[in-house]
Amino acid sequence: MASWGRRSSGMVHHIKALSKVELRGKAGAMKGGWWRYPLQPGVASALVPRSWPCVNTMASLFLVQRFKSSLPQKQVEDDDGDQDLDFPGGKVAYTSEMKFISGSYDKRIPCYRVLGDDGELIKGGSDFEKVNKELAVRMYSDMVCLQIMDTFMYEAQRQGRISFYMTSFGEEAATISPAAALTKDDIILPQYREPGALLWRGFTLQEFVNQCFGNKDDGGKGRQMPVHYGSSKHNFVTVSSPIATQLPQAAGMAYSLKMDKKDACVVAFIGDGGTSEGDFHAGLNFAAVLEAPVIFVCRNNGWAISTPTSDQFRSDGVVVKGQAYGIPSIRVDGTDALAVYSAIRAARSMAINEQRPVLVESLAYRVGHHSTSDDSTKYRSLNEIEHWKTDRDPVNKFRKWVELNGWWSERDEADLRSSIKKQLLKVIQVAEGTEKPPLTELFTDVYDLPPSNLVEQEKLLRQTVNKYSHDFPSDVSLH
Amino acid sequence: MLGIVRQKMLEQSLKKIPPAVSVLRSYSSAAKQMTIRDALNSALDEEMSADSKVFLMGEEVGEYQGAYKITKGLLDKYGPERVLDTPITEAGFTGVAVGAAYYGVKPVVEFMTFNFSMQAIDHIINSAAKTNYMSSGQISVPIVFRGPNGAAAGVGAQHSQCYAAWYASCPGLKVLAPYSSEDARGLLKAAIRDPDPVVFLENELLYGESFPVSDEVLDSSFCLPIGKAKIERKGKDVTIAAYSKMVGYALKAAETLEKDGIDAEVINLRSIRPLDRSMINASVRKTSRLVTVEEAFPQHGVGAEICVSIVEESFAYLDAPVERIAGADVPMPYAANLERMAVPQVEDIVRAAKRTCYRSVS
């Protein structure tokens, strides 16, 4: 430490000072002058203080040899005279008591809610963002719409009219409330069970159903399997099947948003199962390090296909994982539309104003099967499913609150439901009758511009189909 | 053998003395020489300067100046917002970069070697290559993945695999493999400017090699077309098609063959996907004989694909079966003698060419 003060211009003196083995880093100008970056052989140039520009090459060669013979560093003393450990990453107090941090707190992190099961505001609770009639009615209508669409489309799959479907039963509030709390400039990266968010953004029933039928009016040109929606117009990134890949992507998008200085954030959804993926770690860690404005919403619905959360992790759910990355986190009742709305509003404000990631764990039981390829009665009790379906239904709960405010009546309910059903029937009929995408769409969008080999292949294929039309299905339009 | 040792020594000595691009630029002699390292560095520098959306990501690309010094000086010039040192997670940083590309910026991701890209291959294929198609053209992914590929010297099985065939089999990706400094500059610039995801396969042992570059190549607007191969040496008796380091071997083989009266045409593929099938076929139609050379494992490789292309389009022109020279079908051993036996040598190419010419191989 003493030699730091004794700067002189002589090269020899510099090297002699170095030989005292108090290595200075780029932070050399700071009092105490501890190196900021971990020692790496060969990275010597990073350790030479900026004040010695011409010393770089020579001193760096010198320093490389010096690493091996370092004397132990002198410790810093803090104001109390107690010793602190000054280590890469920051100062940390010492302790003589050997104590392991427990794997879990005594009490689990509590779950934030605004409404009770009866749809009434919790007595004494006022820590939520008010929602006016227009917004509440719109949220409620979309929740009902999602529920009915899911019912119809699930049935359609069962009847063999579409190949696959996934429902959001039990998670209507968990996906619509976040969307309601965001602006249209916020980019959403879904996992695959968030059509509610897309519905809120304005994706029409016809567009949803067209995608499931993969017809020529599908915005996705029939490229993806059902429920893999996407729409850049609605700032909803196309659903991608591999789990959790959207998390590091979200960090990257948010970082780019930040570079553009936009008043917007990124919202990435993930399930409880997805938190086991390596990408969960990478995504959260990166977002924290890059200080990116992204909200990670974990829809903890209790099940990853047949894997219950008790087999998925041993932590207190997902909310506690945020702290490990330096990310503020909250656990919220995902069946409570108002609680989710408030939490996301607050998270958004934090993410954008403080330019940092936020983690929201939303607890909402998955009432339906994982997908149409699953029969969840095989691994969970009918009683359990029934309980969550009836007593804890988010749509019912919210309706009660909206009715209590005098904003909704039985008449409205009946009208809404019959209107949606009529629309859906029509929309499904139209979608089913619409032609499938034309042959051209087999070959477009592989690259930005069609490569010559694909242009040729298409030409050859057309010739073949024309010549042997009886060998090909009739629904492949050549136009 | 000698070639590898010489290259290894060259590599070691170059690691000790960081090259300075500015020194090269001050040469005023007619034939300028440029190492691959400088070619790549200057290409990155120029593209970052021309387009503020281009940024670099990878392990050690910033403070360390690049694991192989390819990104030297770029952190100082463009700052930490555009040259990002990442934590050790290929899957993580590739995902982050792809997400940024979805947004519209242009990341250039460095893999310390493409062997490590296997940890990120889901993001490269499922998140990058297929997304333009799956999103019906709504989300383009203007990303470049670059880094050393294939065998180095004495680095063993997990650091020596060639990934050209794996990536080139995937629609949605473009795969490039430069050989000379001209290739390195022109193709990297083209890759960065391209709106599709590009896998850019460099070679560690070539980084220190110098090649002559013309003024045209040194110009900042220089760019090579993707999908076009180059005839490095014109000939009429046999076509030798190779990529990356093997082009150098093929050229040496051609010199040897010339002494035996065989005039070989050497094609530098430059682009593995899209493959320049028309040029390769045109050449074979002229020579009637083909030898493919790659350092990679033989099965399902680039040579196999080229062979099929000839069979499909120019079968009648062949006067001899296609010869495929490739690495041994074993994970790369470490011991120097075994390693030498596991990769093609110039003599293997010479013998193969002679076989196609019905010459006895003594």
Task: For residue range B305-344, list pLDDT tens digits in order.
Answer: 999 999 999 999 999 999 999 999 999 998 888 999 999 9
The reported pLDDT for the residue numbered B30 is: 53
The structure tokens listed for A348 are 């958004």
CA neighbor of A225 nearest in space, from A291, A184, A165: A165
Indicate whether B166 pLDDT > 90.
yes
If you average pLDDT over residues A113-141, what whole number do you get? Answer: 93
The reported pLDDT for the residue numbered A126 is: 79
If you average pLDDT over residues A14-21, what whole number do you get? Answer: 42
Domain boundary assignment for chain A = 2-62, 133-433, 439-471
Q: Could B102 and A249 be called an inter-chain contact, meaning their C-beta atoms sit closer than 8 Å? A: yes
Nearest CA distance, A446 vs chain B (angstrom) = 5
How confident is the prediction for chain B on average, in pLDDT?
92
Indicate whether A231 pLDDT > 50.
yes
The reported pLDDT for the residue numbered A418 is: 98
For A93, phi then psi, to 5°, come to: -75, 150
- pLDDT confidence band for B31 (50 / 70 / 90): confident
Q: Where in chain B is the domain with CATH 3.40.50.920?
A: 230-358
How confident is the prediction for chain A on average, in pLDDT?
85
Nearest CA distance, A330 vs chain B (angstrom) = 24
Three-class DSSP category at A24? coil
Q: Could B100 and A189 be called an inter-chain contact, meaning their C-beta atoms sit closer than 8 Å? A: no
CA neighbor of B188 nearest in space, from B50, B335, B352, B87: B50
Classified by CATH at the fold level, domain A133-433 comes out as Rossmann fold (3.40.50)
Which residue from A221, A253, A447 is facing B99, i.e. has the nearest CB? Answer: A253
More confident residue, A29 or A151: A151
If you average pLDDT over residues B160-165, what whole number do you get? Answer: 96
- Residue A343's region, left for phi above 0, alpha for psi from -120 to 50, else beta, is alpha
The reported pLDDT for the residue numbered A478 is: 80
Q: Could B171 and A446 be called an inter-chain contact, meaning their C-beta atoms sit closer than 8 Å? A: yes
Share of chain B above pLDDT 90, in %: 86
Q: Could B103 and A43 be called an inter-chain contact, meaning their C-beta atoms sit closer than 8 Å? A: no
Q: Residue A381 in contact with residue A320, Cβ under 8 Å?
A: no
Token pair 């003395």 is found at B17
- pLDDT confidence band for B43 (50 / 70 / 90): very high
Q: Could B91 and A278 be called an inter-chain contact, meaning their C-beta atoms sit closer than 8 Å? A: yes
Residues in chain B: 362
The reported pLDDT for the residue numbered A79 is: 53
CA neighbor of B268 nearest in space, from B304, B296, B228, B229: B229
Q: How far apart are the C-alpha atoms of A297 and A207, rounded to whole Å?
A: 25
Q: What is the pTM of this model?
A: 0.80
The structure tokens listed for B168 are 């080139």
If you average pLDDT over residues A152-161, what whole number do you get? Answer: 96
Comparing B35-39, B87-91, B240-244, the range with the smallest average pLDDT is B87-91
Q: How far apart are the C-alpha atoms of B247 and B269, rounded to whole Å?
A: 9
If you average pLDDT over residues B13-41, what whole number do you get? Answer: 64
Which residue from B97, B99, B133 is facing A250, i.e. has the nearest CB? Answer: B99
Q: Residue A295 in contact with residue A266, Cβ under 8 Å?
A: yes
Q: How far apart are the C-alpha atoms of B104 and A188, rounded to whole Å?
A: 15
Scan residues 91-110 of B and list those with Cβ closer than 8 Å to A: 91-105, 107
If you average pLDDT over residues B57-71, what whole number do you get? Answer: 93
Comparing A32-46, A174-188, A350-364, the range with the smallest average pLDDT is A32-46
Q: How far apart are the C-alpha atoms of A67 and A60, rounded to whole Å?
A: 11
| Active site (annotated) includes residue A477 | no
- pLDDT confidence band for A9 (50 / 70 / 90): very low
Domain B230-358 coded CATH 3.40.50.300 = no
Q: How far is CA A215 from CA A211, A222, A237, A475, B17, in A?
A: 7, 6, 20, 11, 61
B23 touches chain A (CB under 8 A): no
Indicate whether A17 pLDDT > 50.
no
CA neighbor of A244 nearest in space, from A285, A265, A275: A275
Classified by CATH at the fold level, domain B32-218 comes out as Rossmann fold (3.40.50)
